[in-house]
């Protein structure tokens, strides 16, 4: 083979390589996929014989680079690998058509970002993501950039009789590289121990901080990796690494799954802000996010208050409360609660216990029972815990100015808590930690004077030993009962 033939063959190989590269590049951004299996293996090549390079959780969205032999090469963040088509649902990405004559393409979602190119009128672009009034796109040449939503329209696929492509997803809160927006709730700036982060052009915020600011109760189930938030008659359930949380049983799709960062659950801001009926506003000039939630308690006729006292032994059933050296909080609180009930009955005061045995009773269910019975007083009994060293007794109440119904009872709630606290300190002679205000579910959701007594610290060895003595439990019960009676006779 002479030199000229060799050169011709090399040229053909080079041209073929370039064509293949362009084809792969153009296909790289055409499709996206959703992982449909629970936890799916990511491999270095298209087959089970290839090395395992990672795993992807169900509902994770990935970019499909290429497909081969029933396998798809995908990209998730900085990670690339192959996943079997059996566990990946591939969808064609939406298309956009440029409507402006010559529209600037920029490196970020705003006119303050550098121009990186231009798109002609009629040019078709692949939609990658949305960011407020900007769209992240890829051109046919593979350039990734941002274009203003004012100069594009969606494109139908196929012939005129084919169904239209899905519209671009609802624009979410924008995110600028290296900058974190300030978050306000009803005009008050929120502080986070784990700062908001940007994930796939979405602002992710600590879920608990915002939900609790809204007055919701947040619990975490370690075994199912699921967060549950409750407020009134609304329940939000958000599994980790899932894009399908539910609100009162109805699935609400989010485009970025919740993540666990530094022991805090981070979720898309717009979902968190709107889950309990709030609205999320964005101010580009000040780079702030404003969440507004209007609290309007429905006025209702005030029921005739009885002199019934509801005693609530904390925890129960599978909800053990604090466990210290095998001693469970639920057993101590039930013992003391039964004693309080007997003492009050003997003094002629009608009572109702939320539980009389070791069973599960929901937090809302406890409050509902007291409300339905038009109880005069609700008192919950608990044991405290912290770090095996802290000790003492405290009694809690809740009457914030943000809740007009509870705030109207602030003096009564505080007086009840103080009456119980005074008797506990006089009887048990432990460190006086005071009567304090705290946002707890049974205090927030009861509609009468209510208090929660933290008798002692169960994880403190000295106080645990005391709590195991019948004499101490009887002293605590008599103190709580006397505090209640003193409040009723004031």
Pairing relationship of beta strands 217-221 and 226-231 according to DSSP bridges: antiparallel
CATH class of 309-488: alpha beta
Domain with CATH 3.30.457.10 in the chain: 182-292
Mean pLDDT for the chain overall: 82
CA dihedral 4, 7, 9, 14 (to 10 degrees): -160
Q: Tell me the CA distances in angstroms from 349 to 276, 343, 489, one per residue in order.
A: 39, 9, 11
109/100 Cα distance (integer angstroms): 17
What confidence category does residue 16 fall into, taking pLDDT thresholds of 50, 70 and 90?
A: very low
Q: Has residue 40 got a pLDDT over 70? A: yes
Q: Tell me the CA distances in angstroms from 468 to 212, 328, 453, one per residue in order.
A: 34, 11, 17
Q: What is the pLDDT of residues 59-103, one digit of tens each?
A: 777 888 888 888 888 887 777 888 888 888 887 667 888 988 888
Q: What is the pLDDT of residues 367-394, one digit of tens each?
A: 999 999 999 999 999 999 988 889 999 9
Max mean pLDDT among 196-205, 220-229, 345-354 falls in 345-354
Mean pLDDT of 155-176: 40
DSSP 484: H
Q: Which CATH code fits 95-154? A: 2.30.30.40
pLDDT at 111: 86
Q: Looking at per-residue confidence, does 306 or 364 come out higher? A: 364
Percent above pLDDT 70 for the chain: 83
pLDDT at 180: 67
pLDDT at 320: 94
Domain with CATH 3.40.630.40 in the chain: 309-488
pLDDT at 158: 35
Mean pLDDT of 400-410: 92
| Enclosing H/E stretch for 397 | strand 393-397
For the ranges 178-187, 361-370, 435-444, which has the lowest average pLDDT? 178-187
Mean pLDDT of 9-14: 52
Max mean pLDDT among 120-134, 269-283, 293-307, 457-471 falls in 457-471
What confidence category does residue 446 fall into, taking pLDDT thresholds of 50, 70 and 90?
A: very high
pLDDT at 473: 96
Domain with CATH 2.30.30.40 in the chain: 28-90, 95-154
Mean pLDDT of 173-198: 70
Q: Looking at per-residue confidence, does 100 or 452 come out higher? A: 452
372/351 Cα distance (integer angstroms): 14
CATH class of 182-292: alpha beta
Mean pLDDT of 202-224: 83
Q: What angle do the packed helices 470-488 and 329-346 form, to 10 degrees?
A: 50
Cβ contact 448:352 at 8 Å: no
- The domain defined by 28-90 carries CATH number 2.70.98.10: no
């Amino acid at each position: 083979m002479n030199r000229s033939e060799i050169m011709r063959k090399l040229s053909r190989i080079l041209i073929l390589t370039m064509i293949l590269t362009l084809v792969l590049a153009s296909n790289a951004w055409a499709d996206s996929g959703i992982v449909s299996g629970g936890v799916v293996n990511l491999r270095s090549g298209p087959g089970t014989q290839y090395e395992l390079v990672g795993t992807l959780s169900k509902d994770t969205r990935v970019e499909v680079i290429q497909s081969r032999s029933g396998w798809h090469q995908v990209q998730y963040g900085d990670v690339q690998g192959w996943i079997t088509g059996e566990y990946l649902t591939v969808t064609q990405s939406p298309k956009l058509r440029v409507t402006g004559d010559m529209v600037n393409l920029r490196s970020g979602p705003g006119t303050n970002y550098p121009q990186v190119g231009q798109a002609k009128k009629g040019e078709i672009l692949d939609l990658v993501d949305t960011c407020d009034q900007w769209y992240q796109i890829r051109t046919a040449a593979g350039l990734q950039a941002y274009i203003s939503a004012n100069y594009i329209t969606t494109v139908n696929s196929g012939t005129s009789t084919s169904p239209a492509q899905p519209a671009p997803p609802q624009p979410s809160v924008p995110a600028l590289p290296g900058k974190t927006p300030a978050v306000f709730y009803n005009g008050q700036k929120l502080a986070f121990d784990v700062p908001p982060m940007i994930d796939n052009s979405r602002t992710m915020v600590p879920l608990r901080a915002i939900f609790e600011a809204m007055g919701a109760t947040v619990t975490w189930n370690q075994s199912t990796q699921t967060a549950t938030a409750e407020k009134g008659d609304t329940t939000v359930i958000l599994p980790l690494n899932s894009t399908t949380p539910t609100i009162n049983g109805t699935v609400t799709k989010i485009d970025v799954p919740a993540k666990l960062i530094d022991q805090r659950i981070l979720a898309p801001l717009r979902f968190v802000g709107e889950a309990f009926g709030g609205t999320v506003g964005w101010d580009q000039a000040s780079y702030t996010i404003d969440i507004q939630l209007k609290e309007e308690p429905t006025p209702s006729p005030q029921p005739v208050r009885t002199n019934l006292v509801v005693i609530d032994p904390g925890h129960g059933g599978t909800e053990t409360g604090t466990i210290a050296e095998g001693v469970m909080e639920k057993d101590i609180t039930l013992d003391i609660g039964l004693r309080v009930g007997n003492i009050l009955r003997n003094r002629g005061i009608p009572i109702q216990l939320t539980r009389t045995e070791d069973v599960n009773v929901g937090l809302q269910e406890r409050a509902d029972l007291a409300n339905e019975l038009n109880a005069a007083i609700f008192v919950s009994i608990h044991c405290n815990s912290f770090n095996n060293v802290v000790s003492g007794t405290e009694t809690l109440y809740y009457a914030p100015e943000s809740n007009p119904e509870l705030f109207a009872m602030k003096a009564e709630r505080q007086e009840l808590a103080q009456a119980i606290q005074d008797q506990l300190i006089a009887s048990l002679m432990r460190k006086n930690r005071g009567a304090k205000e705290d946002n707890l579910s049974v205090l927030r959701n009861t509609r009468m004077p209510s208090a929660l007594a933290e008798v002692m610290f169960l994880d403190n060895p000295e106080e645990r030993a005391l709590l195991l003595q019948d004499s101490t439990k009887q002293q605590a019960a008599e103190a709580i009962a006397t505090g209640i009676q003193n409040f009723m006779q004031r």
